[in-house]
């Protein structure tokens, strides 16, 4: 749906008269500017990127581009279409990693850059198809104008503000620059793990923060140092629980990791529920590092502290 809508929008944007077209572009650029300087929430710019600037349907647009190139190659045998088909394949193969989770920032941008270039070529083809009555020179000028607007919008929406990593976290591996909030929480967690290590107590970290084991020179209670969606099967969940039973860690740290990129956001709620139920049955929440919450795509560093419950003694009067 997004792929078809994107192509249609660029087609009709090119086909529209100059006045309505400029007004529409001005509104979109104004929205992007307001968002860039913090005057708007993220919902509107996300809609712009997903529909107009960096659409999540780029994979299907490139698939259509490839199909058209092959079709023209069979009819005309022009080497130019062979080049277009080859580049489309090159763009589609790495994009299989993200497919329909394309975003203009974050990890997926590295898989989507060739795909984006195919998308830009597709835009120029849409502009040309929408204005067959214009002269070649006017078509070129219109295409340059609209593609410039595309790049301006991409810059306004996608260039993130620099992270204020003004705090230093001193570790056994060296100094790390972090935002102050994360640095403070990380220092507290590492101090706690190190203290428990001196007492001979083990601290397990779930679902993901294996670097804490490295910094504190400790080990996980299982060969699984990370639990993310799909990492362990239901049968392996039982094996992991058996490892926890054997290791019997005194404490378990449950980090506020959002694994939204896997399609399952939170440990114990969207995946690995059996392990989470076991933790809830055998441990109690004894504290919190940072502000633990499950409400953000990329929450700040935070963790719930679970302490092993003492086994209940039987009542001697029974």
- Confirm whether 317 is domain-assigned: no
State which of 158, 193, 208 marks the end of a domain: 158
* Residue 311: per-residue pLDDT: 58
* Residue 44: per-residue pLDDT: 59
Outline where the chain has alpha helix (H): 2-15, 18-36, 43-48, 58-76, 79-95, 108-130, 136-158, 180-198, 211-216, 234-247, 273-282
* Residue 317: per-residue pLDDT: 39
- Confirm whether 314 is domain-assigned: no
State which of 138, 158, 178 marks the end of a domain: 158
* Residue 274: per-residue pLDDT: 95
* Residue 312: per-residue pLDDT: 47
* Residue 161: per-residue pLDDT: 63
* Residue 22: per-residue pLDDT: 85
Split the chain (318 residues) into runs of 10 and give each run's mean pLDDT: 88 88 84 70 65 87 93 89 93 87 76 90 91 89 90 79 77 88 92 94 94 93 92 92 94 92 88 95 94 80 91 44
CA distance to 29, 36, 62, 144, 160, per residue, from 148 (Å): 12, 18, 21, 6, 20
| Structural domains in the chain (count) | 2
- Confirm whether 313 is domain-assigned: no
- Structural domain range at position 237: 167-308
């Amino acid at each position: 749906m997004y792929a078809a809508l994107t192509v249609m929008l660029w087609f009709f944007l090119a086909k529209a008269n100059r006045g309505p077209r400029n007004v529409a572009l001005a509104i979109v650029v104004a929205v992007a500017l307001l968002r860039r300087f913090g005057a708007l929430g993220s919902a509107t710019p996300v809609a712009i990127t997903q529909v107009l600037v960096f659409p999540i349907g780029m994979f299907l647009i490139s698939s259509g581009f490839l199909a058209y190139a092959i079709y023209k190659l069979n009819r005309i045998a022009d080497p130019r279409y062979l080049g277009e088909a080859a580049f489309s394949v090159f763009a589609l193969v790495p994009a299989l990693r993200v497919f329909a989770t394309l975003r203009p920032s974050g990890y997926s941008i590295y898989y989507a850059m060739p795909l984006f270039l195919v998308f830009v070529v597709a835009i120029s083809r849409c502009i040309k198809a929408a204005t067959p009555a214009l002269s070649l020179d006017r078509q070129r000028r219109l295409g340059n104008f609209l593609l410039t607007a595309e790049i301006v919008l991409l810059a306004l929406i996608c260039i993130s503000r620099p992270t204020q990593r003004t705090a230093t976290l001193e570790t056994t591996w060296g100094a790390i620059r972090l935002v102050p909030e994360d640095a403070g929480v990380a220092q507290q967690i590492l101090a706690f793990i190190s203290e428990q290590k001196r007492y001979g107590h083990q601290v397990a970290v779930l679902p993901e923060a294996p670097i804490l084991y490295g910094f504190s020179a400790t080990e996980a209670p299982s060969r699984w140092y990370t639990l993310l969606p799909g990492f362990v099967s239901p049968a392996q969940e039982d094996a992991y629980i058996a490892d926890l039973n054997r290791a019997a860690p005194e404490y378990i740290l449950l980090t506020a990791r959002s694994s939204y990129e896997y399609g399952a956001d939170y440990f114990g709620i969207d995946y690995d529920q059996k392990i989470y139920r076991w933790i809830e049955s055998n441990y109690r929440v004894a504290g919190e590092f940072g502000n633990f919450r499950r409400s953000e795509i990329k929450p700040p560093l935070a963790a719930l502290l679970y302490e092993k419950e003492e086994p209940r003694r039987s009542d001697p009067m029974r």
